[in-house]
Amino acid sequence: MTVYAIIGGTGLTQLEGLTIRQALHVDTPYGAPSGPLLKGVYAGHEVLFLARHGHPHRIPPHQVNYRANLWALKHAGATALLAVNAVGGIARSAGTGGFCVPHQVIDYTYGREHTFYEGELEHVTHVDFTHPYDEGLRQRLIAALREEGYVHEAQGVYGCTQGPRLETVAEIARMERDGCDIVGMTGMPEAVLARELALPYACLALVVNPAAGKSAGVITMAEIDRVLGEGIEKVKKVLVRMLLG
């Protein structure tokens, strides 16, 4: 039986409707995860939930201990990972309030602990990362979005920046030239660490603002919070629909 781990991003620090059976405080070789792993039942399925930024929301993207988070989830029994990410929209099709289920990623981050394969190794290991997201999980998320009737893009390129600051107009223009459709700060190294642990991984991205230069005004946290408040309720419905399907 598949045990899904849901990794909640900005706006999803707790999962209402989750019947919690156990809060797991897992020690890892990489330090402490962002918080306790909540093990329970959601939409009739055994799931694990972890708030990527902690609860309350306190850990910035560049300081998330991605290795500890992923190692802990696998150690606790997760066999597939569903990541929820708040992102900015670069492509015209990535409108605010809509969703994207990315099929590719470009990593612009630096200085993050991005692999389990380092230190005193018996041999060098390279993982194939041609297709960073699991296609089966992607298609299930897309089907759930379609069934709920939510505006979404069934593919896209996720550009992952360092944060915690937002990007400049020139940086977004560069990313657009590179082929990015959405921009976020937490998609990497999470995706590649999942691949190194052989855990199927997919991303449900909620577009919470136009990227820099893609609207007439400046980006405000008040507007992002407003979109998050509406969008997270949709996220929960999509997750329930997927699990029930």
Q: Which residue has the higher pLDDT, 106 or 219?
A: 106
Dump pLDDT digits (tens) for 123-171. 788 999 999 999 999 999 999 999 999 999 999 999 999 999 999 999 9
Dump pLDDT digits (tens) for 75-109. 999 999 999 999 999 999 999 999 999 999 999 99
- Strands (E) across the chain are located at 4-8, 19-24, 37-42, 45-51, 80-89, 99-100, 104-107, 152-153, 157-160, 182-184, 201-210
> Is 210 annotated for ligand binding?
yes
Q: Spell 118-143 as b/e; 16+ CB within 10 A means b.
A: eeeeeeeeeeeeeebbbeebbebbbe
Q: What is the pLDDT of residue 121?
A: 74
Q: What is the pLDDT of residue 229?
A: 87
> Is 13 annotated for ligand binding?
no
Q: What is the pLDDT of residue 44?
A: 84
Tokens of 100: 């994207």
> Is 61 annotated for ligand binding?
no
Residue 13 has pLDDT above 60, yes or no: no
CATH number of the domain encompassing residue 71: 3.40.50.1580
Number of structural domains found in the chain: 1
Q: What is the mean pLDDT of residues 197-202?
A: 98
Q: What is the pLDDT of residue 193?
A: 98
Q: What is the pLDDT of residue 11?
A: 59
Range of the domain at 218: 4-244
> Is 1 annotated for ligand binding?
no
> Is 211 annotated for ligand binding?
yes
Q: What is the pLDDT of residue 14?
A: 62
> Is 161 annotated for ligand binding?
no
Contact yes or no for 67/30 (Cβ under 8 A): yes
> Is 175 annotated for ligand binding?
no
Q: What is the pLDDT of residue 5?
A: 96
> Is 10 annotated for ligand binding?
yes
